[in-house]
Amino acid sequence: MSSPVNLTVALVQQSNSDDVAQNMVKSIAGIRDAASQGAQLVVLQELHRSLYFCQTEDVDVFDLAETIPGPSSDTLAELAKELSIVIVASLFEKRATGLYHNTAVVLEKDGTIAGKYRKMHIPDDPGFYEKFYFTPGDLGFQPIQTSVGKLGVLVCWDQWFPEAARLMAMAGAELLIYPTAIGWDPRDDEGEKTRQKDAWVISQRAHAVANGVPVISCNRVGHESDPSEQSEGIVFWGNSFIAGPQGELLVEANNTDEQLLIVELDQQRCENVRRIWPYLRDRRIDHYHDLTKIYRD
């Protein structure tokens, strides 16, 4: 399956409420808007159906999980077919009772499921208690072949690990895509907030540079309260962006508003960049064996 030389991609940065149906309506509206402006590939943020429920540990939240295929993936598949576009969505997957994943599903433009990726790196930090909800993925770092190219789909915490990006690129990924939910503790001062956000942007732009592929990073925006009232909640910092193969920012959202970002990617330029910066050629895999260790004591 050949990839288009010029690919128009979009991401939908949105705020969420506890109204699951309304959140989906908002996501669908963003997808339709993107398609009307020529987008061939549309990316949604992490867990776009609901609030970011991992601020606390609550067994009742498992009621939000769905099978894939299931109601949400079916709705988005029908939309993908209607609009003849590819959609990357992030869902709370119920694989079996007591077994759940944080899963990105890719819907092909004919309405079929092109593939899915289960989040591999699962955080467990104050306000981000994901290990309570999600089993680490077991599908590996395998790009998903679609009509618009081979997509290296990863999810949020995965974006901090260069190994994940590299393995996707080594398997032929033409784009790296990160649905994300990341934000500030409102109690942090402005300097700390800036450092955190800048580190997040830098790390992903570095993946673009090191692998010679564009990066699409879609984050949510807005304040979400802590249901336990033990903290002041999370202010999701938005700042969604699309970067080119040399890490250049092609388009970037702000920290406060719902926004739709659209860019046309020149895939031939990506090919040219990888020819002049041949990182894969010069890797010294004969000396990388210690990377399979947790730490070198």
pLDDT digits (tens, 9 = 90+) for 43-86: 999 999 999 999 999 999 999 999 999 999 999 999 999 999 99
Please tell me the pTM assigned to this model.
0.96
Question: Which pairing describes strands 149-153 and 175-180: parallel, antiparallel, or unpaired?
Answer: parallel
What one-letter code names the amino acid at 44? Answer: L
| Assigned fold of 6-283 | Nitrilase/N-carbamoyl-D-aminoacid amidohydrolase (3.60.110)
What one-letter code names the amino acid at 288? Answer: Y
Task: Give yes or no for a cis peptide into 278 (omega within 30° of 0).
Answer: no
Domain locations in the chain as residue ranges: 6-283
pLDDT of res. 1:
61
Distance CA 16, CA 7 (A): 29
Q: CA–CA distance from 117 to each of 2, 258, 262 (Å)?
A: 22, 26, 23
Q: Enumerate residues 6+ apart whose C-beta is below 8 A from 46.
A: 52, 90, 102, 155, 156, 179, 180, 181, 218, 219, 220
Tokens 């895509």 belong to residue? 177
pLDDT of res. 291:
92
pLDDT of res. 2:
64
| Buried-state track 272-290, b at ≥16 Cβ within 10 A, e below 16 | ebbeebeeeeeeeeeeeee
Q: What angle do CA 21, 26, 31 make, to 5 degrees?
A: 125
Three-state secondary structure call for residue 96: strand
pLDDT of res. 31:
98
User: DSSP character for 4?
Assistant: P
Mean residue pLDDT across the chain: 96
- Positive or negative CA dihedral for 68, 69, 75, 81? positive
- Residue segments in the chain with a per-residue pLDDT below the cut of 70: 1-2
Which positions are annotated as active-site residues? 46, 119, 156
